[in-house]
Structure 1
Amino acid sequence: MEKQTIVAPMTPNGVSAVAAIRVSGPQVKSVVKTLFGEKAVAGLKSHMAKLGTAKWPASVEGGCRTGAVIDSLLYLYFEGPNSYTGEDVLELYPHGNPLIVRDLLQACRMVEGVRLAEPGEYTRRAFLNGKMDLTQAESVADVIHSANRSELENAHRLLGGALSKKVSALTEQVKDISARMELDVDFAEEEADPDYAGWETRFVAIRQSVQGILDSFRGKAEVGRLPLVVLYGAPNAGKSSLVNALLGEDRILVSDIAGTTRDFVEVRLFLDGGEIRLVDTAGLAEKAADALDALSMEKSRQILAEADMKILLVDGTTSVILNPEGVKDPVGMNVHPDLVLQTKADLSRDVALNSVQGQLAISSKTGAGLAELKSALNARLFKNRENSEDLWITSEREKACLEEALAGIDRVLLQLRSNPAVELLAFEMQIVRRALQSITGEISSEDVLQSIFAGFCIGK
């Protein structure tokens, strides 16, 4: 059955230098003809970029825009099956004006048989056309949404087929044992009892492999959570100035008047290892000045309790801290800082940069110590994995399939140790095999596919 041709933007809505639109399906050449003319179709070569001027096609109403220029843009044609979806694909790269993107989408849809793509439909077609298996298809979303480098590297390993190879190897082992079992079922009356001892050893090894993959599971909430870093200290210690210096822009109001920050302010900061949540809290003192000040301090205490890393800022012009253990607790709740920063190093002659472990001297004005601070944050929050080849799974669907396979293996082992019937063993092995095949999509249902791809972006 011939599929409809689909079109959708690959880039988010908004103004940018360049946008991207993808068209996939049997009517791709008709779209090229409609936008760029007959000569453009004659000159199409797969995987070769072309510069063209897209114009409005003749509309059924004969509108005044017919023949008007939409945009001068770069376009790429990929002849199926050598494309992302396995079909003929056209990618358009116009200027990133939302009006241009909208007009191109409308012009493409004027070609008969072309419609807007549904969420995840491009990747779904790639799966159905054999360009990737289901574990790789699911990892596409992880590649897009990874919040740090270790997650991104893991997503790339999944997309590259690392998990698929492991599961396929296990599936082949199960298929081999299952085939031998079913053969024994067919000839059960003609031959002696099979050698169960040899089977048990192989099942134990398969179980360990399945359990190892299952143990690597990390839920979406755990993987997608950004590390939380909280800055705290006395009023006018330089917390807001530090946030602005780290961001490279005046994001937070700064004043010489103590207590300018009344509520905690959260920003996002990109480090080499990934993105973090950085929180600037209201100044803390032993006693609140008023009811509003007391409320601000209470909020600061609450966010400190959630922090992955607590950083105490001390005004370096008024006091020099020798070590974090000796810091006077300004919170009144025995909070131990993970790092102490002596601020305003440009105004203090007594501060020596990086002189004490667990302590840094910084200057938000000159930038002194900021690179060392970022390095310390990165090392603490994004620890390097000891084995870069390790991977973990994040899909609840894959986890459920592995659990089903593991339960089946356990039933097989239990039967093997209690004088089993070959027929029952063969039946359980079919369950294990189907569970493993479901992980990669070798066996799948329409409901499963709909559930997976419905959560994807429109253009992916």
Structure 2
Amino acid sequence: MDSLTIVAPMTPMGVSAVAALRVSGTHVRDVVRRLFGARAAENLVPRMANLGTARDPQTGKVLDSLLYIYFEAPNSYTGEDVLEVYPHGNPLIVRDLLQAIRSIEGVRLAEPGEYTRRAFLNGKMDLTQAESVADVIHSANRAELENAHRLLSGALSKKIATLTALVKDISARLELDVDFAEEEADPDFSGWKQKFENIRESIKGILNSFRGKANLSRLPLAVLYGAPNAGKSSLVNALLGEDRVLVSNVPGTTRDFVEVRLFLDGGEIRLIDTAGIADKATDELDALSMKKSREILDEADMKILVVDGNNSAGNKEGVILSEAQAESKDLKPDFVVVSKSDLAANVIARSEATKQSLDTSHLNVSSKTGEGLDDLKKVMNAILFKKSENAEDLWITSEREKSCLEEALAGVDRVLDLLEKNPAVELLAFEMQLVRRALQSITGEISSEDILQSIFAGFCIGK
């Protein structure tokens, strides 16, 4: 890390009411002086919001009237002097302000993740906490976000610190035995096996909580399906609160699936409106549409059967699906929605066989009046975002942390094997050194430049 002061936007490009830029380093006071004048730099008070007119240091041109806050080292995010600037969210203003700050001697554009990297190097957080910053930003649902906050607050760090302290204590005793091996009798290892097994179980417990980011980043998928003209597209529009899908009274309007994003209390999901599934295809295109609908249902985390509640009980085609379709495994729903509840009594006509194969909960819904929409969202949220039995559980998402834990676990396994076959104190001490270093690498107590580069390269520039 060089000694230059860094600057970068903290907010994404685009028009907004307010934008934000962060400056961090030894030249922060000089930045304030060049932008707002000597008096502003002399009267800086930490953590006080100031209103000022920012001018270009080269031309004196007014850039914007804005708020700025100064954070004095070490009481800042990075542990350095920090200036946060809040201009109006016009991209032209943000660009000009960024260029003006970069033109000041000793200031450069920040690299991806450099603010958090400086925070780690200055002791404001350990490496597990630094990695969790990205999880806080990119969490796709509430459970992931809560887990990321637990990691950021140091919940994992405390577990690793407890383990590391125990391993350090054992290592110190082993190394002491190595130093005085010629002066004393063979060490007594009775009772040590249980200690190592306890350490092993603790490491396995953390390791087993690993959840890959690839799986976590996948949004849950809910699929609406049913007979043509059952009201699927209207239901999608009603759930979104806007007309996103073409709706028509003509059956078969939806020929291809339509995917949208829907926000529930637990997080964002993918919601798909499929082409209607009938007993027989009307043409080749209709057959292809139904085939695609079945393929999408195979991927669904939640299958929602939409039934036309306005159909009469005497309809020979059946209100839901035919018995053959209902008995098909890929068409068995997780939940049934009876649509158009504002138009009919919503009597679901089924044969006895259909009743048995579709024995599941159902809900009356009206896309026109909004009846049942909130209840449907609650049902979807409960199924797609199942709560953990223990709200305090945490999981790790970092492949690097997983690799370190696997290395530590392998070391403990070798120690247990040595205790059984060859309890030489020198070998035990060496293996425990490896275990200790693996655990210390998790929190960054031991780290290399290559590891830090790979971690922070995936961060956004403003973080």
Question: TM-score per shorter chain, which class?
Answer: over 0.9
Is residue 450 of structure 1 aligned with residue 453 of structure 2? yes
Equivalent residue letter for 1:263: D
TM-score under structure 2 length normalisation: 0.94
Q: Deviations over 1:154-194 (max 9, x none)?
A: 00000000000000110010000000000000111111211
- 1:361-400 correspondence to structure 2 within 5 Å: 361-400=364-403
SS of equivalent to 1:197: coil
Contact 2:73 2:81 in 1 (8 A): yes
CA distance in structure 2 between the aligned counterparts of 1:435 and 1:332, rounded to whole angstroms: 51
- Map of 1:11 onto structure 2: 11
CA distance in structure 1 between the aligned counterparts of 2:121 and 2:297, rounded to whole angstroms: 49
Q: CA RMSD in A?
A: 2.0
Q: 1:430 aligns with which of 427, 430, 433?
A: 433
- 1:140-289 correspondence to structure 2 within 5 Å: 140-289=133-282
- Map of 1:414 onto structure 2: 417
CA distance in structure 2 between the aligned counterparts of 1:397 and 1:372, rounded to whole angstroms: 42
Per the TM alignment, residue 332 of structure 1 is displaced from its structure 2 partner at its CA by: 6.5
CA distance in structure 1 between the aligned counterparts of 2:456 and 2:415, rounded to whole angstroms: 34
Contact 2:200 2:409 in 1 (8 A): yes
- 1:119-138 correspondence to structure 2 within 5 Å: 119-138=112-131
Equivalent residue letter for 1:285: A
CA distance in structure 1 between the aligned counterparts of 2:32 and 2:21, rounded to whole angstroms: 13
Is residue 69 of structure 1 aligned with residue 65 of structure 2? no
Per the TM alignment, residue 419 of structure 1 is displaced from its structure 2 partner at its CA by: 3.7
SS of equivalent to 1:367: coil
CA distance in structure 2 between the aligned counterparts of 1:325 and 1:208, rounded to whole angstroms: 51
Alpha carbons of structure 1 residues 111 and 283: separation in structure 2 relative to 1, 3 Å? same
Alpha carbons of structure 1 residues 13 and 447: separation in structure 2 relative to 1, 3 Å? same
- Map of 1:61 onto structure 2: none
- Map of 1:92 onto structure 2: 85
Q: How many residues matched?
A: 450
Q: 1:359 aligns with which of 357, 362, 370?
A: 362
Tell me which moved more, 24-33 or 284-293. Answer: 284-293
Q: Deviations over 1:301-334 (max 9, x none)?
A: 1111100000011110005699999977379665
CA distance in structure 2 between the aligned counterparts of 1:334 and 1:186, rounded to whole angstroms: 68
Q: Identify unmatched segments of 5+ residues in structure 2.
A: 349-358
Alpha carbons of structure 1 residues 447 and 123: separation in structure 2 relative to 1, 3 Å? same
Q: Deviations over 1:27-55 (max 9, x none)?
A: 11111111111121122111111111111
CA distance in structure 1 between the aligned counterparts of 2:346 and 2:399, rounded to whole angstroms: 55
Alpha carbons of structure 1 residues 408 and 346: separation in structure 2 relative to 1, 3 Å? same
Is residue 36 of structure 1 aligned with residue 36 of structure 2? yes
CA distance in structure 1 between the aligned counterparts of 2:272 and 2:327, rounded to whole angstroms: 16
Alpha carbons of structure 1 residues 428 and 292: separation in structure 2 relative to 1, 3 Å? same
CA distance in structure 1 between the aligned counterparts of 2:361 and 2:319, rounded to whole angstroms: 7
Contact 1:323 1:358 in 2 (8 A): no
CA distance in structure 2 between the aligned counterparts of 1:9 and 1:28, rounded to whole angstroms: 15
- Map of 2:355 onto structure 1: none
SS of equivalent to 2:331: coil
Equivalent residue letter for 2:374: A
Contact 1:324 1:337 in 2 (8 A): no
Equivalent residue letter for 2:406: E
CA distance in structure 1 between the aligned counterparts of 2:109 and 2:310, rounded to whole angstroms: 62
SS of equivalent to 2:22: strand
- Map of 1:336 onto structure 2: 332
Contact 2:237 2:245 in 1 (8 A): yes
Q: Deviations over 1:369-405 (max 9, x none)?
A: 0010000001111111111111100100000000000
CA distance in structure 2 between the aligned counterparts of 1:382 and 1:121, rounded to whole angstroms: 34
Q: 2:301 aligns with which of 290, 302, 308?
A: 308
Contact 1:56 1:69 in 2 (8 A): yes
Task: State, as a whole percentage, how many aligned pairs show the same letter.
Answer: 74
CA distance in structure 2 between the aligned counterparts of 1:217 and 1:96, rounded to whole angstroms: 39
SS of equivalent to 1:408: helix
Contact 1:85 1:126 in 2 (8 A): yes
Per the TM alignment, residue 67 of structure 1 is displaced from its structure 2 partner at its CA by: 2.2
- Map of 1:62 onto structure 2: none
CA distance in structure 2 between the aligned counterparts of 1:334 and 1:108, rounded to whole angstroms: 59
Contact 1:301 1:331 in 2 (8 A): no
CA distance in structure 1 between the aligned counterparts of 2:341 and 2:11, rounded to whole angstroms: 44
Q: Deviations over 1:98-142 (max 9, x none)?
A: 111111100100110111111000000000000000000000000
